[in-house]
C-alpha cells in the first residue's frame, strides 16, 4: 500500500464491538464516465453507512500515467509475491485465532497432551508471524492446522467415550427427562 497514491479517506464509525470476522461490511466502488470515484461502505449489521466522492482534481498528465503503467508492469512479480505473503500471513493469523477459540471453547474436553501440543503450535505460529521468514510462517501454519484437526478429533473422541457410543438408547436423541419436565411420547404420520 505504501506505493499507492492516496486519493482520500473516511471512517466507518459506530460499529459495535464484535469478535473478529463477525461484522460484515459491504464496500462498493463506482467510477462514472467523468472519472469521478464514489466509494461507500455499509455495516450490514447496524445499517450504518459512510461514503466519499473523489473528483478529478488530482488528475495526472498522460506521461505520468504512462510512467506509472510501466512501473506497475515492471513490479508485477514483486506485487504478486507481496500479495501471496499477505494472504499467507492472514491465513496463519486466522488459524491461530481459530485455534485459540478451540482452546477457549473446548479446553475442558481436550486431553492434556493435545491441549499442550495445540498451545505450542499456536505459540510457534504467533512467533513466526513476528518475523519475515515466509517458509517458517507457512510451515508453522501447516503444523498449526494439522495440530488443530488432531486436537478437535481427540476432543470429540474423548467426549464420545465419556458419554458412551452415539446412537444407543433414548439419550442419543436427547430424550432424557430433566427434573420438573414431563416427557410425552407421540406418534405421527406424514400427509402430503
Looking at residue 128, its pLDDT comes to 95
The rounded distance, in Å, linking the Cα atoms of 177 and 131 is 55
* pLDDT band at 167; cut points 50, 70, 90: very low
Looking at residue 15, its pLDDT comes to 74
Looking at residue 33, its pLDDT comes to 77
* pLDDT band at 84; cut points 50, 70, 90: very high
**Mean pLDDT value across the chain:** 80
Q: With beta carbons less than 8 A apart as the criterion, state whether 63 and 42 touch.
A: no
Sorted by sequence, the CB contacts under 8 Å of residue 32 that are 6+ apart come out as 38
Is the confidence at residue 58, as pLDDT, over 90? Answer: no
Is the confidence at residue 192, as pLDDT, over 70? Answer: no
* pLDDT band at 20; cut points 50, 70, 90: confident
The rounded distance, in Å, linking the Cα atoms of 69 and 64 is 9
37 or 129, higher pLDDT: 129
Identify which of 76, 71, 73, 12 has the alpha carbon closest to the alpha carbon of residue 44.
Answer: 12
* pLDDT band at 172; cut points 50, 70, 90: very low
Report all structural domains of the chain as residue ranges with CATH numbers, in order of start.
Answer: 84-161 (1.20.1270.10)
Sorted by sequence, the CB contacts under 8 Å of residue 185 that are 6+ apart come out as none
Is the confidence at residue 170, as pLDDT, over 70? Answer: no
Is the confidence at residue 97, as pLDDT, over 80? Answer: yes
Consecutive H or E run containing 53: strand 49-54
Looking at residue 126, its pLDDT comes to 96
Looking at residue 146, its pLDDT comes to 94
The rounded distance, in Å, linking the Cα atoms of 50 and 130 is 34
Looking at residue 119, its pLDDT comes to 94
Q: For the segment 102-157, what is each residue's pLDDT rounded down to a tens digit?
A: 888 888 888 888 889 999 999 999 999 999 999 999 999 999 999 998 888 888 88
Looking at residue 56, its pLDDT comes to 65
Q: By mean pLDDT, which of 57-66, 69-78, 149-158 is the weakest? A: 57-66
Looking at residue 120, its pLDDT comes to 96
Question: What does the chain look like in DSSP terms, one character per residue?
Answer: -TTSPP--------PPP--TT---EEEEEEE-TTS-EEEEEEETTT--EEEEEE-GGG---HHHHHHHHHHHHHTHHHHHHHHHHHHHHHHHHHHHHHHHHHHHHHGGGS-HHHHHHHHHHHHHHHHHHTS--HHHHHHHHHHHHHHHHHHHHHHHHHHHHHH-STT-TGGGGT-PPPTT------------
Q: List the strands of the sheet with 49-54, edge to edge.
A: 25-31, 37-43, 49-54
Amino acid at each position: 500500500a505504501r506505493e499507492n497514491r492516496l486519493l482520500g479517506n473516511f471512517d466507518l464509525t459506530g460499529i459495535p464491538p464484535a469478535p473478529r470476522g463477525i461484522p460484515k461490511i459491504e464496500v462498493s466502488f463506482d467510477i462514472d464516465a467523468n472519472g469521478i470515484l464514489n466509494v461507500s461502505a455499509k455495516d450490514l449489521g447496524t445499517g450504518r453507512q459512510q461514503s466519499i466522492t473523489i473528483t478529478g482534481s488530482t488528475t495526472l498528465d498522460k506521461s505520468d500515467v504512462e510512467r506509472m503503467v510501466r512501473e506497475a508492469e515492471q513490479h508485477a512479480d514483486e506485487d504478486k509475491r507481496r500479495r501471496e505473503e499477505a494472504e499467507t500471513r492472514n491465513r496463519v493469523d486466522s488459524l491461530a485465532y481459530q485455534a485459540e477459540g478451540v482452546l477457549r471453547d473446548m479446553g475442558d474436553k481436550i486431553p492434556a497432551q493435545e491441549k499442550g501440543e495445540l498451545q505450542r503450535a499456536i505459540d510457534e505460529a504467533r512467533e513466526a508471524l513476528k518475523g519475515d521468514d515466509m517458509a517458517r510462517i507457512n510451515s508453522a501454519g501447516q503444523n498449526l492446522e494439522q495440530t488443530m484437526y488432531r486436537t478437535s478429533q481427540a476432543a470429540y473422541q474423548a467426549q464420545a467415550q465419556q458419554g458412551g457410543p452415539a446412537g444407543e438408547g433414548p439419550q442419543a436423541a436427547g430424550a432424557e427427562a430433566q427434573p420438573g419436565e414431563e416427557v410425552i411420547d407421540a406418534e405421527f404420520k406424514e400427509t402430503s
